[in-house]
Amino acid sequence: MSAEPAVTQALAADHGLTAEEYQRILDLIGRTPSWTELGVFSAMWNEHCSYKSSKKWLRTLPTEGPQVICGPGENAGVVDIGDGDAVIFKMESHNHPSYIEPHQGAATGVGGILRDVFTMGARPMAAMNALSFGRPEHPKTRRLVAGVVEGVGSYGNCFGVPNVGGEVRFHAGYDGNCLVNAFAAGIAKADAIFYSAASGVGMPVVYLGAKTGRDGVGGATMASAEFGEGAEEKRPTVQVGDPFTEKRLLEACLELMASGAVISIQDMGAAGLTCSAVEMGDKGGLGIELDLDAVPQRETNMTAYEMMLSESQERMLMVLNPEMEAEARAIFDKWDLDFAIVGQTIAEDRFLVKLGGEVKADLPLAALSGTAPEYDRPWEPTPPSPKVADMPACADPAADLLALIGRPNFCSRAWVWEQYDHTVGADTARGPGSDAAVVRVHGTKKALAFSSDVTPRYCFADPVEGGRQAVAECFRNLCATGARPLATTDNMNFGNPEKPRIMGQFVGCIQGIGEACLALDMPIVSGNVSLYNETDGQGIQPTPTIAAVGLLEDLSQAIGMAGRRGDVLILLGDTAGWLDRSAWLYELHGREEGPPPPVDLAAERAAGELVRALKAQDLLSAAHDLSDGGLAVAAAEMALASGCGATVAGAPKGLTPGAWFFGEDQGRYLLACPAKSAMAAMDAAAKAGVPARQVGTLEGDAVILGGASAPLATLREAHEGGFARMMGEG
């Protein structure tokens, strides 16, 4: 075993600690830390684990409501869905690892979020992923897309959880940093939730699952820094996952929980054994003593530093009821998984780590966790973008639609989701390609709807409005599926927070998200912050991804996107024809200019509640929210789903064809109603104070926009083949 290096300020800097932070450590413990202690501090005080740049603002988010059982601070959020059931869910990023090693980075992102869910006693029922990549023509994009999608699919498919939705986008802002945001949800009994706070002195601390190796050492610290040249050299910091081991771990943990042996349990995710042990002790107001000689190892001669910072996958840490050690061990033996008592809880405020009879770390545990730096970073608001004065004309709306719908940002994602199993478990009622996925709560008539969304170009132009819009669009997606929105989780992806402009983007998005969550009764119950998404000083577009969960009391009330031939098309919501910062302006004219469309949260709520009411009155065949691409894209997508054409009236007085067909005014839905029900639907809208107008019919075999026409077959070919063409397969 090699001698440990001498700890210096320079070595601390290599661990991502500033000179001020290193001095803080010296003051805290009154001496120079050991090599292992330095590693422990670097793990606990990095951005990924301590949220030192974001805590101040995260506290401002609305996190409570009568439906919330457990909000932020645990492995995942817990929300009541009635009948003694709860949904447990969270979204988390694996951006940095996925850029370095796309397959394993994405795969272990899926594995990590699944563990967050079943650590709390839930059986996972659904997964989603929100992916952002650079320009399709960028030399790295195809490799990253192929590797990430393969990694997501391989892990989820092997584990056996349906991957039911998400999003994929392409933009130059992600050329140097792809984003891989993974979401998972599970079901548990509301009175059988497991938490991470340790309790009781002298209780055994038990290591569960797979053996520890050297993969992922320093992963959390790596994820809290910018990339420069040589990013690929960071591959050793990327973990390697095994979904089959994770499946066994799930079953063993659920069986263990049912036995009554578990006092508390924590996933070993970022920063591995360090973070899981410290968080369990801190939440319970206890100290932790670890004997690393007892840790199951798959590699020889591992140091204390390596074992404490390893991010090997498929591992848990548990505080065990000592009276049930034999029963607990038998369960893990049955599932062929390691079960090792590696320490105990202690009354003193200490984090004591031993190896080979030597003390490798002896630190105040509460201070290690509770005194992590908290910064009030300087920030500056994003200056307003002037309105576009020279908006291009739209000479042929059908030609523009055809061009738009085949682009990588608009074409079908079937190339992606066909690599995922979205039907395993046989409870998926609406899968990928819908406004929101719908999955039955097994053995009941209830179902949950899932959606994720954000529009980064809006957030870049106006972070506050962009934050509002991300939540509002998830709200619309759920309502368009017939679900009552319950709660949200977020994944805040930004560049370097030490730059006031970037920090201002973060603050603005948080403000907008908070306003929308409050107005739409969708509290944030969990989430993740991923900062330093920069390469060579070039940051990503601000991407605060929102994932939302809604409830259908009866699956029969679910709304689809496919209408019936002869249905009347009704446009809900007010249309001003907002083309600034639109997809049409960006995709077809190469211009990212102007402010984003304003979000009227009261109008959003009224329109969403109306859609659900119309379904309850049996007045709807289908519904689809309007977002990127406006009315034209929504009508085309509904026509493709319905298997027949759509005729949409030309622009009303005061609006240009571009503004009418491609404007991105918020709070709008396209409804398909049986002809006999259309007037009743219009009357209901009038009574609810929601603007509504009949704009067309589902008919024929073309999408007709005013006087311009595109054959449905041609649109389908462009839409369905776009992704394969981008990947060089079409």
Rounded to a whole number of angstroms, the CA Rg of the chain reads 26
d(C-alpha 653, C-alpha 269), whole Å: 57
d(C-alpha 32, C-alpha 7), whole Å: 7
Of residues 94, 96, 103, 171, which has the active-site annotation? 94
Interior angle at CA 525, CA 199 and CA 184, nearest 5: 90
d(C-alpha 608, C-alpha 515), whole Å: 17
CA trace torsion 512, 517, 520, 523 (10° rounding):
180
Closest CA to 75 of 63, 89, 86: 89
Identity at 171, one-letter amino acid code: H
The question of whether 422 is a catalytic residue gets the answer no
The set of residues, in sequence order, having a beta carbon less than 8 Å from that of 462 and lying 6+ positions away, is: 382, 384, 385, 508, 595, 596
d(C-alpha 45, C-alpha 647), whole Å: 58
**β-bridge mates for residue 110, sequence order:** none
d(C-alpha 513, C-alpha 696), whole Å: 34
333-358 in b/e burial notation, b at 16+ Cβ within 10 A?
A: eebebbbbbbbbbbeebbbbbbbeee
243-274 in b/e burial notation, b at 16+ Cβ within 10 A?
A: bebbbbbbbbbbbbbeeebbbbbbbbbbbbbb
Q: Is 720 exposed, middle or buried (0-12, 13-18, 19+ CB in 10 A)?
A: middle
DSSP H helix total and E strand total for the chain: 25, 28
d(C-alpha 129, C-alpha 183), whole Å: 6
Q: Which residue has the tokens 């066994």?
A: 248
Interior angle at CA 217, CA 14 and CA 532, nearest 5: 55
d(C-alpha 78, C-alpha 170), whole Å: 32
d(C-alpha 51, C-alpha 57), whole Å: 10
Q: Is 278 exposed, middle or buried (0-12, 13-18, 19+ CB in 10 A)?
A: buried
d(C-alpha 422, C-alpha 431), whole Å: 6
Q: Are 124 and 76 in contact (CB under 8 A)?
A: no
Q: Which two tokens stand for residue 726?
A: 């981008």
Closest CA to 207 of 252, 141, 150: 252
- How many residues can be counted in the chain? 730
Distances (CA, A) of 413 to 229, 289, 627: 32, 49, 17
Residue 375 is given by DSSP the state -
DSSP conformation letters of 468-533: HHHHHHHHHHHHHTTPEEEEEEEEEE-S-TTSHHHHHHHHHHHHHHHHHHHHTT--EEEEEEE---
Of residues 15, 48, 103, 422, which has the active-site annotation? 48
The question of whether 624 is a catalytic residue gets the answer no
The set of residues, in sequence order, having a beta carbon less than 8 Å from that of 337 and lying 6+ positions away, is: 208, 209, 210, 245, 248, 249, 252
**β-bridge mates for residue 428, sequence order:** 439
Q: Are 508 and 59 in contact (CB under 8 A)?
A: no
Name the percent of the chain in helix, strand, coil, to the closest 5.
40, 25, 40
d(C-alpha 80, C-alpha 70), whole Å: 9
Q: Which residues are catalytic?
A: 48, 94
